Amino acid sequence: MMRFHPRLPNDTTMLLILVVFLIAIISTSITIDDAASDNAMTISVIGAILILVVYVAWLVNYLRAGADQEPAIAGAHAPPLAFRAGIAVLALAGVAAAFTSEWFVSVIDPAVEELGISKAFTGLVIVAIAGNAVENVVGIQLAWKRRYDLAISVVKNSVAQIACFLYPVLVLCSLAFEDRLTFVVAPVYLGALALTAIALWQITGDGRAVLFEGLALVSLYVVLATLVWFE
């Protein structure tokens, strides 16, 4: 059994629920074609700004709370790095990751077209597994070493960054282009998002997780992967 502090899982789940609520309410509005459906872009922009505000407030509180915690790698003594230098390193790493992702997508596109694999399966399975391989391996290593809080932090912080930071930022950045991004998704993906948030809350909200719960999460992912294979 894994035992960990429930605060981070609960906080992350709250962020996910906020994003899922926004996606659900906008997508439902589009589906039923009510009066607000003509303003999906405006609603998405307002929602993106509010999600970013909530995320920043959570992040500041989370960083302050973790300032006095033990280092991620016990016994390691890294040379001090100034704040500005750290920001520069993170920015360069982000740019390098963006170019790597662009290269990866450009290389994989011809292959998946030749094999007849859907875009949905490529994004939700192939790219997702390859892109998250490093953090997944680190999470498993930390769990194997019984550093359960760090293992949960590595995995769930990534989820929060994608759902509550990257997605809203992309929505806002898309305003500068002709094709704009909104929070509207297909009903099947809306259901998958909602069930995932509920499952994460149910499994990790009590500060412990056992084997069958992990298998349940893997089963949910496999079912979704099987569905998008036939998209």
Model confidence pLDDT, tens digit, residues 34-85: 777 778 888 888 888 988 888 888 888 777 765 555 554 555 555 666 777 8
Rounded average pLDDT over 174-180: 88
Q: What is the pLDDT of residue 80?
A: 67
Residues 6+ apart with CB under 8 A from 171: 44, 45, 48, 180, 181, 182, 183
Q: What is the pLDDT of residue 79?
A: 63
Residues 6+ apart with CB under 8 A from 195: 220
Rg over CA atoms, the chain: 19
Q: How far apart are CA 105 and CA 99, in angstroms?
A: 10
Q: Is the pLDDT of residue 177 over 80?
A: yes
Name the more confident of 177 and 103: 177
Nearest alpha-carbon partner for 109 in 98, 122, 100, 128: 122
Contact 1, 208 (CB under 8 A): yes
Structure tokens at 69: 């915690």
Cα distance between the two ends of the chain: 37
Give the helix/strand (H/E) hosting 192.
helix 187-204
Q: Is the pLDDT of residue 140 over 80?
A: yes
Q: What is the pLDDT of residue 87?
A: 78
> How big is the chain, counted in residues?
231
Q: Give pLDDT tens digits for 111-133.
A: 778 878 887 888 888 878 877 77
Query: In the chain, what percentage of residues exceed pLDDT 70?
Result: 92
Name the more confident of 11 and 52: 52
Q: What is the pLDDT of residue 66?
A: 58
Q: What is the pLDDT of residue 68?
A: 55
Rounded average pLDDT over 81-93: 77
Residues 6+ apart with CB under 8 A from 62: 8, 11
